[in-house]
Amino acid sequence: MTEELMLAGCLTNNAASQEALYSRFSPRMLGVCYRFAKNREDAEDMLQEGFIKVFSQIHQYRGEGALEGWIRRIVVHTCINVLKKNKKFSDSVDITFASGVGIREEGIPSIMQAKEVVECIRLLPIGYRTVLNLYAIEGYSHKEIGNMLDIEESTSRSQYTRAKAMLEDVLVKKKIMLKPRAKTPFFGATAIK
């Protein structure tokens, strides 16, 4: 079924078209939810809520941009809303919470490729993880992230910096990634050891 047919069917509340659309996009969207969620069950709940919104708001899709991007945006916002409802999340976004958090070597799963990267992301504290997901993978700006998470833009930046450092460390330890080269210091500046 083509995307146009699916869309037309979904606009008329046609169950077959809705299922086709769901079948096409749900695996990737569940992957998105999984990166934000605590576990698979939560991810599935997020996915369910997201797709209900997709089908109820499908008439708002104007064909500007890819359908997948539109669905993804709804799903990501649903994930954020679910996380924001969780009080622990808002606590953990606090920058002080995250400082000094370490990853235990034995907590790192030995799994492969895409899955292993995602699993490593999921090892991060939830505040770090969310900012990293939104900035590095979903492509939101720090300003947008600040608005979405009700935090300062600067908080988002610092969260991301720490998240990135921590994730790099994990990925290097797991040999998914080579150790990043040390950045060249600014002209005239001295690298602080």
Which residues make up the interface to another protein (CB under 8 A)?
13, 15, 18-19, 22, 26-28, 30-32, 34-35, 40-41, 43-45, 47-48, 51-52, 55-56, 69, 73, 85, 87, 109-118, 121, 132, 135-137, 139-141, 144, 164, 167-168, 171, 174-177, 180
Q: How far is the CB of 183 from another protein (least distance, A)?
A: 10
Amino acid type, 176: I
Nearer to another protein among residue 128 and residue 140 (C-beta): 140
Nearer to another protein among residue 87 and residue 104 (C-beta): 87
Q: How far is the CB of 105 from another protein (least distance, A)?
A: 14
Nearer to another protein among residue 4 and residue 180 (C-beta): 180
Cα separation of 48 and 52, whole Å? 6
Query: 19: which 2 tokens?
Result: 């299922």
Q: How far is the CB of 163 from another protein (least distance, A)?
A: 11
Long-range interactions of 174-177: CB distance < 8 A, separation 24+? 174/108, 174/110, 174/116, 174/120, 176/116, 176/117, 176/120
Nearer to another protein among residue 134 and residue 151 (C-beta): 134
Q: How far is the CB of 99 from another protein (least distance, A)?
A: 21
Q: How far is the CB of 178 from another protein (least distance, A)?
A: 9
Contacts of 110 (CB under 8 A, 6+ apart): 116, 174
Nearer to another protein among residue 41 and residue 105 (C-beta): 41
